[in-house]
């Protein structure tokens, strides 16, 4: 679509798995021409199938999570002919996305210095696990373990650490690189020069620890896992089960909201109880309050409770499965329609909307290996 903001932008994607390809699909959804360069074996995620998928499916569900709107070309960068073709493409490109271990890109003639010599306006986005000085490969699960996320995601102190159910560090890294690229495009408009942009999974993870990191930096106190609970707000994040089997979560962030919750639950005494009347008191008496809430919510209809809380502007929601979330009335706006070659919906990476450009209504589906 010629009215999309990145129409005409040429992108070479030398990245695989999730972080880099997420950036590539993001750019494609905004109008860029994205060519995915793959080794003869293809992106490894093409074969990452779940047991529910056909074993011979040419495109896995995982691969489809980050590869809409692209074309694919196979280049063997270990061969001179493959490197020559890459260099010809890079000379005309605006952006290169790469996810090599430090040193590997140079061996393939795909590093920033080599490509920028051919195209001084080139923006080169490099994703590594631990930065340009480390030879370690970056894996999302390992980074979740090493940067505190798995520790904090346990159900409680002393319980087993747990990985997030999505490759969260990859996705956070992708967002960092998107921001860097958009800033670099703006700078290039003023200077005419390209640049090297480097982001690591490690740094992206640390940058996203937010209040958990600053809690340690300010107090020296090691943040402890609370399951889905919040370290400084109660009741916030705990899941309760109602009489009708509804699983629901409360996110009460103020004393006023807590008073409304007490009214809805027909427990006005809680609102004036010194243990619960203020948030600091509720944090100090977390276990007592959550036990009272568990018992009371187990006596009422979850559907009716959620409806009444919504009327009173008390933050709460039902715990849904992925399928339930994707079939809610608001979900279709975030889905890409099936194509002739890929008869399944896709997931958009662009969640924002603009008053001056449209949403890409359709995109080519995830490409088969080497298909343009």
Active site residues: 170
Helix (H) or strand (E) holding 52: none
Which one-letter DSSP state was computed for residue 91? Answer: T
- CB atoms under 10 Å from CB of 81, counted, come to 10
Query: Bridge partners of 123?
Result: 95, 195
Give the contacts of 112 (CB within 8 A, at least 6 positions apart): 96, 105, 122, 124, 126, 196
First to last CA, the chain: 18
Which one-letter DSSP state was computed for residue 94? Answer: S
* CA distances (Å), origin 181, targets 18, 24, 47, 194, 197: 17, 11, 29, 10, 8
Distance CA 250, CA 7 (A): 43
Nearest Cα residue to 169 out of 218, 197, 203, 133? 203
- Long-range CB contacts (< 8 A, 24+ apart) of 292-295? 292/267, 293/235, 293/238, 293/240, 293/250, 293/265, 294/240, 294/241
Q: Write out the DSSP string of 199-225.
A: EEHHHHHHHT-HHHHHHHHHH-PPP--
Cis preceding linkage at 235, omega within 30: yes
Say if strands 335-336 and 346-347 run parallel, antiparallel, or are unpaired: antiparallel
Tokens, residue 55: 């074993």
Say if strands 195-200 and 123-128 run parallel, antiparallel, or are unpaired: parallel
Query: Bridge partners of 13?
Result: 36, 97
Q: Return the residue matching tokens 């002393």.
A: 158
CB 318 within 8 A of CB 248: yes
């Amino acid at each position: 679509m010629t009215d999309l903001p990145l129409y005409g932008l040429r992108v070479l994607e030398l990245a695989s798995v999730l972080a880099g390809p997420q950036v590539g699909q993001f750019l494609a959804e905004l109008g860029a021409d994205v060519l995915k360069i793959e080794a003869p074996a293809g992106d490894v995620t093409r074969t990452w199938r779940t047991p529910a998928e056909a074993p011979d499916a040419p495109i896995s569900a995982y691969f489809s999570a980050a590869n809409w709107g692209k074309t694919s070309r196979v280049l063997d960068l270990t061969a001179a002919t493959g490197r020559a073709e890459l260099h010809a493409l890079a000379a005309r490109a605006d952006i290169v996305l790469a996810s090599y271990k430090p040193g590997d890109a140079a061996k393939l003639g795909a590093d920033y210095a080599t490509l920028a010599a051919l195209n001084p306006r080139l923006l080169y986005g490099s994703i590594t696990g631990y930065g340009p000085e480390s030879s370690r490969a970056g894996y999302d699960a390992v980074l979740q373990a090493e940067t505190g996320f798995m520790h904090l995601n346990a159900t409680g102190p002393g319980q087993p650490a747990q990985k997030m159910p999505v490759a969260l560090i990859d996705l956070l890294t992708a967002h960092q690189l998107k921001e860097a690229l958009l800033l670099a495009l703006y700078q290039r408009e003023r200077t005419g020069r390209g640049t090297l942009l480097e982001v690591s999974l490690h740094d992206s993870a640390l940058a996203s620890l937010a209040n958990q990191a600053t809690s340690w930096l300010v107090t020296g106190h090691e943040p402890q896992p609370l399951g889905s609970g919040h370290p400084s707000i109660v009741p916030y994040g705990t899941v309760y089960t109602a009489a009708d089997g509804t699983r629901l979560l409360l996110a009460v962030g103020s004393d006023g909201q807590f008073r409304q919750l007490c009214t809805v639950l027909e427990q006005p005494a809680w609102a004036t109880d010194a243990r619960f009347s203020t948030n600091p008191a509720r944090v100090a008496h977390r276990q007592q309050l959550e036990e009272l809430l568990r018992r009371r919510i187990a006596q009422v209809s979850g559907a009716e409770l959620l409806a009444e809380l919504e009327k009173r502007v008390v933050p709460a929601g039902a715990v849904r499965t992925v399928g339930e979330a994707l079939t809610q009335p608001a979900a279709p706006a975030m889905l890409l329609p099936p194509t002739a070659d890929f008869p399944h919906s896709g997931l958009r990476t662009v969640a924002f909307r603009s008053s001056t450009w449209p949403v890409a209504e359709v995109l080519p589906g995830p490409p088969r290996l080497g298909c343009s």
